[in-house]
A and B are shown apart, each in its own frame.
Chain A
């Protein structure tokens, strides 16, 4: 995995998550300048390009009869809109939630293309997103409720003797959100892609055996295709879960339980 790269067929299944530099500028000017285009950056730009072009294509230009793309996009918008309305009661944070959903969804779906890189399997991306959301939610709660925000950590009707213990528990569970939100996305993507790689390596070895074994391998191959379908579903579900939990965190900060 580390050191000199070996171009064997059987590599470590975790190698697909490695960030490598594709184009690098490394020069001792302006102190020490190092600009490199990694595969993470390339795929982030690709995701941005896909999202923008999808919305450009699906723009129906205020025609009376919408195109098929427009209908699909509008139904996604309607479902996110109803989710945000249900949780928050207003549409103030809809632009943020909508763009977050599309970023994670497109990032997960482009990762399902074989030999590509998934940007959400990079822990910097997923933990960075969840850290940003937790810090933002804390700032939001503090700006709305000032010092009353800290009453969030004391559930109402607690006997005084239990307050220090409960505050500690609530504080830990509040801070654990910053990690659990990102690690959920990260772990789902990493475990799914590693499993696919292991199964694909195994199937490749079976297919390159004798003819009878290769024909018999078609049975586990159908199972593999089903797991691929599950992986596509997981990409969608994880984006949805991330967004719905973000909504409920914002709601907690606004309403304080």
Chain B
């Protein structure tokens, strides 16, 4: 019973990754769109995109970490 609840909880915790995936996709789509509009500031835009990517990925990784903790500890 407890083991089943653990696996269910781990699976539910993984659903947090939906938001992270959507966020990363949005960031890079915005990067492509803005680079197509103004290719001159490509370097600056890329550094902002990497920063946003890391921030968005971190929120997803919080839930992934909770999932791993539920499964293995």
User: Which residue numbers of A lie inside 8 Å of B, CB to CB?
Assistant: 1, 12-14, 183-184, 187-188, 190-192, 194-195, 234, 237-238, 240-241, 244
Please tell me which one of the listed residues A1, A13, A188, A241 contacts residue B61 in the complex, with CB atoms under 8 A apart.
A188
- Decide if the interface of chain B is mainly helix, strand, loop or mixed: helix
Q: Does B53 contact A (CB under 8 A)?
A: yes
Interchain residue pairs A-B with the least CB separation, the first 5: A241-B54, A184-B58, A191-B61, A187-B61, A191-B64
Between A and B, 5 residue pairs with Cβ closer than 8 Å are A184-B54, A192-B61, A237-B53, A237-B54, A244-B51
Q: How far is the CB of A179 from chain B (nearest CB, A)?
A: 11
B68 touches A13 (CB 8 A): yes
Complex contact A191–B68 (CB within 8 A): yes
* CB atoms of A13 and B55 under 8 A apart: no
Give min CB distance, B45 to chain A, whole Å: 15
* Chain B min CB distance to A235 (Å): 11
Residue from A12, A183, A184, A234 having most chain B Cβ neighbours under 10 A: A184
Let me know if A187 and B65 touch, CB within 8 A. yes
Chain B 21-44 interface residues, beta-carbon cutoff 8 Å to A: none
The complex places the Cα of A241 from the Cα of B48 at a distance, in Å, of: 10
In this complex, how many residues of chain B approach chain A with their Cβ under 8 Å: the count is 15
**Chain A residues with CB under 8 A of B55:** 184, 241
Q: Please provide the chain B residues from 59 to 73 with a CB less than 8 Å away from any CB of chain A in the complex.
A: 61-62, 64-65, 68-69, 72-73
With A187-B58, A188-B57 already in contact, the answer to whether A237 and B50 are too (CB < 8 A) is: yes
Q: Which residues of B contact A (CB under 8 A)?
A: 50-51, 53-55, 57-58, 61-62, 64-65, 68-69, 72-73
Is A14 within 8 A of B68, CB to CB? Answer: yes
What residues on A are CB-neighbors of B72 within 8 Å? 1, 12-14, 194
Smallest CB-CB separation from B57: which chain A residue? A188
Q: Are B68 and A188 in contact (CB under 8 A)?
A: no
Complex: A175 Cα to B12 Cα, angstroms: 28
Which chain B residues lie closer than 8 Å to A240 at the CB level? 50-51, 54
Across-interface contacts of B53 in A (CB, < 8 A): 237
Query: Is A14's CB under 8 angstroms from B73's CB?
Result: yes
CB-CB < 8 A to B68: which residues of A? 13-14, 190-191, 194
Q: A184-B55, A187-B62, A237-B54 are in contact. List 9 more A-B contacts (CB 8 A).
A: A12-B73, A13-B72, A183-B62, A187-B61, A187-B65, A188-B54, A188-B57, A191-B68, A240-B51
Contacts of B54 in A (CB 8 A): 184, 188, 237-238, 240-241
Which chain B residues border A190 with CB–CB below 8 Å?
65, 68
